Amino acid sequence: MTKTNQAFEVSLFTDGACSGNPGPGGWAFILRHLPTGHQSEESGGSPETTNNRMELEAVVQGLQRLKRPCRVELFTDSVYVGKGITEWMHKWKSNGWKRKEKNKLVPVKNEELWRQLDVLISKHSVKYTRVAGHSGHPENDRCDELAVEAYQRYLYS
């Protein structure tokens, strides 16, 4: 993750949700181009997944939409994503995408998504900003609404 003092040009708001963990899950993002105010949102889901996978998927999907390197401020309520980006990922990479558990190296959970995120982050200047979930943050609440709608499709099919 690269930090910069330059003004951000893109805000990326993300959220993931699950009905059960594991269970049907959904992800969503809002991508806002700050200079123009143009905004897009997208969501999707999986019939059997975990909340952490959906949190990661939302960030990966959002960053994949960027067509050129950008200065991105990532807003998420996921401590898992935030700590992964700011604290854990560097160690995981140096350990061959393994983490310590009970004094042994074990594979990182959701490794393929973390690897995708690593590649995407290397293309952009990304700053992580944590928001409190379900706290009245308009974009976070909207992403939660979209993610829940995405997994609800699997509940009744």
Question: pLDDT at position 29, please?
Answer: 98
Within a domain: 75: yes
Domain assignment present for residue 121? The answer is: yes
In a domain, 5, yes or no: no
The answer to whether residue 98 sits within a structural domain is: yes
- Extract the tokens encoding 1: 């993750």
Q: Which two tokens stand for residue 10?
A: 């893109």
118 is catalytic: no
pLDDT at 116 over 80: yes
Residue 41 has φ and ψ, to the nearest 5°, of: -135, 150
pLDDT score for 115: 97
Task: Give domain status of residue 26, yes or no.
Answer: yes
Q: What is the CATH number of the domain that holds 50?
A: 3.30.420.10
Residue 3 lies in a domain: no
Residues 52-81 have pLDDT tens digits of 999 999 999 999 999 999 999 999 999 999
* 20: annotated active-site residue: no
Out of 16, 45, 62, 84, pick the active-site residue: 16
pLDDT tens-place string over residues 125-136: 999 999 988 788
Per the domain annotation, does 72 fall within a domain? yes
What φ, ψ does residue 131 adopt, rounded to 5°?
A: -120, 150
Cα 25 to Cα 14: distance, rounded to the nearest angstrom: 14
Please confirm, yes or no, whether 133 is among the known catalytic residues. Answer: no
Mean pLDDT rounded to a whole number for the chain: 93
Residue 1 pLDDT: 46
Does a structural domain hold residue 4? no
More confident residue, 4 or 102: 102
For residue 40, the model assigns a pLDDT of 97
Active site residue 15: yes
- 154 contacts 24 by C-beta, under 8 angstroms: yes
Mean pLDDT, range 106-121, rounded to an integer: 96
Q: How many residues does the chain have?
A: 157
Cα–Cα dist 132/122, whole Å: 26
- 5: pLDDT confidence band, cut at 50, 70 and 90? very low
Q: Letter for the amino acid at 94?
A: S
